[in-house]
Amino acid sequence: MIQPGEARELCSKSEWALVESSFSPLLETLSPADLESRIQRASTLHRKAEALIDLQHSDSRKRTTRRKAALFGEVVGRFEAGLKLVEKANISQPSDNSGKRQITEKTRALNRDALRQRYVRDFQRSKNEDLSAAAVHSEQQKAASGEKRIQSHAGSVTRRRQAKRDMKNR
């Protein structure tokens, strides 16, 4: 089994998100449809890595790609095991649906509200980070140039002075 630290080094961000969701706490929260789509993604990445091994010439790259292919093989196995457990749990549960629809509607509404709040919070956070980065940059520029205030049309001033000098010599 490939350790999570090594897996993180082998994967891109989106690939790591897929690998990370194959571990126990997150795996148990996924629906069967999510599990099936993730199985497809992981198996596609597994096939892609296997095909890439034949195209590479360097032994070190081949070794790394083999590790990545093995990683995605393990991920597919974990997702398939999780899907079997979910399907087994769904079969063993009684099919009494009275009141279930009301619970799911309430849950969906709460989930939508939580997602909306999270989006607004993340948007505000990223907006604040962008503003603070721009403010820091402008302060650094002021400090580097020695200016006390922001000058507008600073480039135009030198052009006008040069034009006056040019007119003098005619």
pTM of this prediction?
0.53
Q: What is the pLDDT of residue 130?
A: 58
pLDDT in tens, 54-103: 899 999 999 999 999 999 999 999 999 988 888 887 776 655 555 555 56
pLDDT in tens, 8-19: 888 899 999 999
Domain boundaries, the chain: 57-93
Q: What is the pLDDT of residue 48?
A: 93
Residue 98 burial (CB count, 10 A): 6
Distance from C-alpha of 40 to C-alpha of 145, rounded to nearest angstrom = 56
Token pair recorded at residue 74? 């393990």
Q: What is the pLDDT of residue 96?
A: 55
pLDDT in tens, 89-130: 777 665 555 555 556 766 666 666 777 777 777 767 766 665
Closest CA to 49 of 34, 63, 35: 63
